[in-house]
Amino acid sequence: MAKPLISSRVSRLAGSARIPGDKSISHRALMFGALAVGESTVTGLLEGDDVLRTASAMRALGAEVERLADGSWRLFGRGVGGLVEPADVLDMGNSGTGARLLMGLVAAHPFTTIFTGDASLRSRPMRRVSAPLERMGARFVGRDGGRLPMAVVGATQPLPITYELPVASAQVKSAILLAGLNTPGETTVIEREATRDHTELMLRNFGATVRTEAAEGGGFAITVTGYPELTGRPVVVPADPSSAAFPAVAALLVEGSEIRLPGVGTNPLRTGLYQTLLEMGADIYLDNARDQAGEPVADLVVRSSRLKGVDVPAERAPSMIDEYPILAVAAAFAEGTTTMRGLGELRVKESDRLAAMARGLAACGVAVEETQDTLIVHGTGRAPAGDATVTTHFDHRIAMSFLVMGMASARPVKVDDAEAIDTSFPGFAALMNGLGGKIEAVGE
């Protein structure tokens, strides 16, 4: 059943709020803990539906996965190559990350795994993952266009490969590296543009041999050595910088605001949005910078700011691919034009995010242009009209972006369905309201 929410203009946002754990790192912590020998503990795990689906999948693949009374998680892994054939279909819900990474994981195990998901996930293409994994010996049987439901018949004798990514994608890179763990020799992925490196950092933390070197012709070659002895580790999950983007942009847009977001991940391959916001004139300060389980974190202090339009280079897209929807909202309030290039990847996310943002902004009174891989937002330096109902296409980032817009636009903004928000940011409305927002169920 749809869950419509409406967001209204507020006078000020203030206070401190702990953002849920990083989704990318949460998925990987569960997977690598399941591959390690011995006990791993995970603190700060994002308990959204996407990550809980991964936890269920790891149980189905033979690992012991338990949530403790204090909110931490404990895993007893099976060792590399020790996963078992699941007795039932793995339903990954809305989680593209979980599905694609797990396809890589099981592709090098000699059994069959069947994946499915909700309507949104079943509409998303998986060919970009299955193509390189087929070269390693796995077979894939799915719907036309390489879509779920899909059976993955794992390789009995997996082959190491060297694969150059045709499109920058941390998910595809990670799927290949995960398959390489249970493959003899060295498996290498070449990326011309750097993508988030959580897989490499965490694999090293668990004891794998992973090299990152300059690639001939530019970019990087990431190589994993097969059959490592992964050892259980404690993992502290930083607050998710992609989720932190929503209250951060809200504070920038609502006059007189100042908020603190503690312990947010500041991995430089994830901070393209914040770099862009600073270029737009945002008042964002990193306080108490530190390292946490191999990942850099800091407290974000954000104050309201008058923003100006900028050109966002296409090469920045891999470091902020999930944040373009909320950047487009910020651009709608900025003075001048903001041009975002290299956004083709947005058309195959949970929804066609590029089209969804263009339609939603236009409905709220914002002048916007859309091409195949570019979004141009013409800001006026004033609050857009709002006064619209936006279709979210069951996309959590579209829903949250327009709820943020409603906090500073002239009139309220409604989203037709906010249910998907729980996949990545459970408690989003309550957290925003705790800072001074006004997000309500329709009819309240």
Q: Where are the domains of the chain?
A: 5-21+239-441, 23-226
Q: What is the pLDDT of residue 270?
A: 92
Strands 311-312 and 335-341, bridge-based pairing: parallel
The predicted model gives 274-288 an average pLDDT of 97
Euclidean distance between CA atoms 101 and 299, whole angstroms: 29
Q: How confident is the model at residue 226 (pLDDT cuts 50, 70, 90)?
A: very high
Instruction: Find, among 155, 306, 278, the residue nearest to 226 by Cα.
Output: 155
pLDDT in tens, 366-405: 999 999 899 999 999 999 999 999 999 989 999 999 999 9
The 10s digit of each residue's pLDDT in 318-376 is 889 899 999 999 999 999 999 999 888 888 676 789 999 999 999 999 999 999 899 99
Residue 123 · residue 161 · CB < 8 Å? no
124 is an annotated ligand-binding site residue: yes
pLDDT in tens, 144-165: 989 999 999 999 999 999 999 9
Give the residue among 314, 350, 308 at the shortest CA–CA distance from 330: 308
Contact 5, 415 (CB under 8 A): yes
127 annotated as a binding-site residue: no
Confidence band of 266 (pLDDT split at 50, 70, 90)? very high
91 noted as active-site residue: no
pLDDT at 346: 81
Q: Per-residue pLDDT for 70 more than 70?
A: yes
Place 293 in a pLDDT band, splitting at 50, 70 and 90: low
The rounded distance, in Å, linking the Cα atoms of 64 and 189 is 30
Q: Is there a binding annotation on residue 171?
A: yes
User: Do the domains 23-226 and 5-21+239-441 match in fold?
Assistant: yes
As a whole number of angstroms, the distance between CA 277 and CA 330 comes to 8
368 Cβ contact partners less than 8 Å away, ≥ 6 residues apart: 328, 357, 358, 361, 362, 375, 376, 377, 378
What's the angle, vertex CA 145, arms to CA 392 and CA 154, rounded to 5?
Answer: 110
* CA atoms of 269 and 200, how far apart (whole Å): 12
In this predicted structure, the answer to whether residue 444 has a pLDDT above a threshold of 60 is no
User: Would you state the structure tokens that stand for residue 383, as one six-digit string?
Assistant: 């609050």
Over residues 105-130, the mean pLDDT reads 95
Q: Is 270 annotated as a binding residue?
A: no
Burial zone of 430 (CB within 10 Å; 0-12 exposed, 13-18 middle, 19+ buried): exposed
From residue 377, alpha-carbon distances to 41, 283, 322 in Å are 44, 21, 17
Model pTM score? 0.88
Calculate what percentage of the chain has a pLDDT beyond 70: 99
What CATH number has the domain spanning 23-226? 3.65.10.10
96 pLDDT above the threshold of 70: yes
Domain 5-21+239-441 has CATH 3.65.10.10: yes
The verdict on whether residue 24 carries a ligand-binding annotation is yes
* Average pLDDT of the chain to the nearest whole number: 95
Separation CA 171–CA 239 (nearest Å): 20
Is 23 labelled as part of a ligand binding site? yes
- Select which of 322, 395, 417, 422 is catalytic: 322
Q: Is 353 annotated as a binding residue?
A: yes
Q: Is 3 known to sit in a ligand binding site?
A: no
DSSP class of residue 365 equals: T
Give the residue from 88, 74, 118 showing the smallest Cα distance to 350: 118
